[in-house]
Amino acid sequence: MSSADRGDGPDPDELPPALAAMWRLFRLGYSHEPVLLLVSLGITLLAALPDALLALWLQWLGNAIIARDGMMIMVSVSLMAASVAAGWLLRVLSTRLTRRFRDKVTVGLEAHVATLQASIGGIELHERQEYLDRLAVLRNQVFVLDHMYMSVLGTLGWILRLVVTLGLLVSVHPLLLLLLLFGLPPVFSSSIRPAVERRVEERVARHTRLAEHLFSTATTAAAGKEVRVTGIGPDLVARRRSEWERWFRPVAAARWGTAAAHAVAWAVFGIGYVGAIVFVVLRGSPVGDVLLIMAAGARLSSYIGATVGEIGFLRGTWLDGSRRLVWLERYAASQVSGADLPAPERLDSGIELRGVSFRYPGADRLALDGVSVQLPAGAVIAIVGENGAGKSTLVKLLCGLYRPSAGSVLVDGTDLARIDPDRWRERLAGSFQDFYRFEFLARTSVGLGDLPEVDHEPAVVRAVRRAGAGDVLDRLPYGLDTQLGPTWPDGAEVSFGQWQKLALARGFMRTGPLLTVLDEPTAALDAETEHELFERYAESAAGRSDGGITILVSHRFSTVRMADLILVLDGSRLAEHGSHADLMALGGQYAELYRIQASGYR
Ligand SMILES: Nc1ncnc2c1ncn2[C@@H]1O[C@H](COP(=O)(O)OP(=O)(O)OP(=O)(O)O)[C@@H](O)[C@H]1O
């Protein structure tokens, strides 16, 4: 559900308008470097004048030569020389200043984008295809967003040159203003050109993303073993080539099409320019005027070209990047809007799912359908169900990584959507089946599960013990001080099961979480180890007084049976719930699956 549907302001799906985005980026630049920005603007505008005035000096020189006025010849030649020198000096100054400003502001913008992404509590950003494509473009553009400032300053400079030049043309004859009309087709074609190309690029962006993915699969160490065993290397290379072509063909066609339209537009201007010179000559104007028209007219074409080119770049690339950045800002804001309450200190009644349904953006079917159940404070709750039944989705909703499409998650009666996501996440702990391998020192890889405690060795050791990961540490050459990951100097190779135990230890770093989530974090461990681990965990959870809830997702019924409450999901619906004894007495789906698994162990 978009926040517009929820009525929280602008629709986060929409890219914001270009001008608003440009203005926002300027304000960001001004807040980082106000003096440098204003001085760069002033010098860039000043640098535009000497160049535009050359046509005027040429007119004076022409008339002075015809009138044989030595003094005027000297004056106009001196002005031409001064213009050339001042133009060069101001251009160098403006380039240096703008570059200094850009270098400084780039660091600020990169940090801003990274902070925005990290501030977003949900993971829709990393799972939804349109958002992924949008972020892929922004990631490429964030390092060059500073060009937008240069581009806007440059555009203002070109516009000033254009205005001065038009003034000079009008001073000869007002009708010469019509030359501007002939300049409109190139302006129009240049300004829509990048937008047309960008639309096509975005439509086919998934092919470049896939091509990059195939390239990294074919070339990185993570997939190296399987790529060699399966022999899919050549196939990956061929698929990458074909994906790249599926991207390139429509993009190239769009580029050719817009280039052809642009050439026609310039031909129209050429006709106008020649017409203007013929018009002035036929009127019998003084030689100086004809020189002015020839110089200013020719300059007009290059000024229009530069202005529209700069505007094209501005609209197509730099503004496009700023629109994505502002979209990210709005999206981040929409995710926290209305979340104004702190997380509770403790749970009294627990967490209630009230009519919770959820559909992944763009998906046809519901991943969860009308789930209503009370998760009592202090309980250990197991979720079971076949693959794709919605177990992980339920966990994501409880963690606040997604908001329900309908219904609500109530924490002691308060809607989770009202609780500040940062504060809620501080009270979560646990680990997931798709854990991340943090290739740091072992102590950091575990300790970052509770950042304030990352350097506190007793806390790290306690978490390792709770996760039953002591044996992993014993085998590491320098214990907690071992660098993990064989690609780093002195880095240790760690097996999948060992990584999983370290991830579990990381999940146990926080003490007193309100919600502990164990989403199949032990799938790589044997059933007995998993059973012992959860038994130990459930015992320590039972002794707590803060009402913290533990959610356990597992396919192993020997582990599941010890939970206080078992939720059985079937095709996105909650089919059964109760204790092991209740569900066995019910003789339904759980009882049947339990018997099948139990007979497998006999
Ligand atoms: N990011 C996503 N975008 C679209 N659909 C998704 C996404 N993640 C999961 N789904 C779909 O939602 C449904 C529920 O998925 P979920 O991961 O919650 O199942 P699960 O019960 O945890 O499965 P498993 O036991 O295999 O982990 C599935 O049909 C799945 O294909």
Sheet holding 573-578, edge to edge: 428-432, 515-519, 549-553, 380-385, 565-570, 573-578
Pocket test for ligand 1, best of 131, 368, 391 (most atoms within 8 A of CB): 391
Nearest one of 480, 430, 429 to 456, comparing CA atoms:
480
Nearest one of 168, 66, 153, 174 to 102, comparing CA atoms:
153
What pLDDT is recorded for position 601? 52
Ligand 1 site residues, Cβ closer than 6 angstroms: 127, 360, 363, 367, 385, 387-393
Pocket test for ligand 1, best of 130, 365, 386, 392 (most atoms within 8 A of CB): 392
DSSP-based three-state secondary structure for 401? coil
Residue nearest (by alpha carbon) to ligand 1 atom 25: 387
Tokens of 397: 């909703």
Angle, helices 457-466/496-507, rounded to nearest 10 degrees: 120
User: Ligand 1: which atom is nearest the Cα of residue 368?
Assistant: 14
Residue, of 557 and 389, whose pLDDT is higher: 389
Span 66-93, mean pLDDT? 92
524 CA from centroid of ligand 1 (Å):
20
pLDDT tens digits, one per residue of 410-442: 999 999 988 988 888 888 888 888 888 888 999
Residue nearest (by alpha carbon) to ligand 1 atom 5: 360
Residue nearest (by alpha carbon) to ligand 1 atom 17: 392
Query: Tokens 């007495």 correspond to what residue?
Result: 585
Nearest one of 496, 494, 492, 548 to 521, comparing CA atoms:
496
Q: Let me know if the fold of 13-334 is the same as that of 344-427+517-602.
A: no
What pLDDT is recorded for position 5? 40
- Measure the CA–CA gap between 60 and 292, rounded to whole angstroms: 9
pLDDT interval class at 506 (50, 70, 90)? very high
Query: Tokens 């087709």 correspond to what residue?
Result: 185
pLDDT tens digits, one per residue of 454-464: 889 999 999 99
498 CA from centroid of ligand 1 (Å):
26
Query: Tokens 């473009």 correspond to what residue?
Result: 137
**8 pLDDT more than 70:** no
What pLDDT is recorded for position 124? 73
368 CA from centroid of ligand 1 (Å):
10
**2 pLDDT more than 60:** no
pLDDT interval class at 518 (50, 70, 90)? confident
Q: Are strands 406-411 and 350-358 parallel, antiparallel or unpaired?
A: antiparallel
Residue nearest (by alpha carbon) to ligand 1 atom 19: 388
Name the CATH superfamily housing domain 13-334.
ABC transporter type 1, transmembrane domain (1.20.1560.10)
pLDDT tens digits, one per residue of 142-162: 777 787 888 888 889 989 998
Complex ipTM value: 0.96
390 CA from centroid of ligand 1 (Å):
6
What pLDDT is recorded for position 523? 66
| 359 phi/psi in degrees, rounded to 5 | -125, 130
**165 pLDDT more than 80:** yes
199 CA from centroid of ligand 1 (Å):
31
What pLDDT is recorded for position 535? 74
Q: What angle do CA 449, 455, 460 make, to 5 degrees?
A: 55
Span 344-364, mean pLDDT? 91
How far is the CA of 280 from the CAs of 168, 183, 416, in angstroms? Answer: 14, 19, 75
Pocket test for ligand 1, best of 360, 432, 553 (most atoms within 8 A of CB): 360
Report the percentage of the chain scoring pLDDT > 70.
Answer: 94
**What are the residue ranges spanned by the domains of the chain?**
13-334, 344-427+517-602, 434-511
User: Ligand 1: which atom is nearest the Cα of residue 572?
Assistant: 14
434 CA from centroid of ligand 1 (Å):
13
333 CA from centroid of ligand 1 (Å):
27
389 CA from centroid of ligand 1 (Å):
7
435 CA from centroid of ligand 1 (Å):
16
551 CA from centroid of ligand 1 (Å):
17
DSSP-based three-state secondary structure for 12? coil
pLDDT interval class at 543 (50, 70, 90)? low
Name the CATH superfamily housing domain 344-427+517-602.
P-loop containing nucleotide triphosphate hydrolases (3.40.50.300)
Span 60-64, mean pLDDT? 91
User: Ligand 1: which atom is nearest the Cα of residue 390?
Assistant: 18
Residue, of 25 and 533, whose pLDDT is higher: 25
pLDDT interval class at 349 (50, 70, 90)? very high
Specify the range with the lowest mean pLDDT, choosing from 66-75, 394-403, 517-526: 517-526
- Measure the CA–CA gap between 108 and 143, rounded to whole angstroms: 11
- Measure the CA–CA gap between 404 and 398, rounded to whole angstroms: 10
Task: Answer whether 565's CB lies under 8 Å from 558's CB.
Answer: no
User: Ligand 1: which atom is nearest the Cα of residue 365?
Assistant: 29
Tokens of 519: 């989403």
Residue, of 425 and 260, whose pLDDT is higher: 260
Report the percentage of the chain scoring pLDDT > 90.
Answer: 32
Residue nearest (by alpha carbon) to ligand 1 atom 18: 390
Residue nearest (by alpha carbon) to ligand 1 atom 30: 388
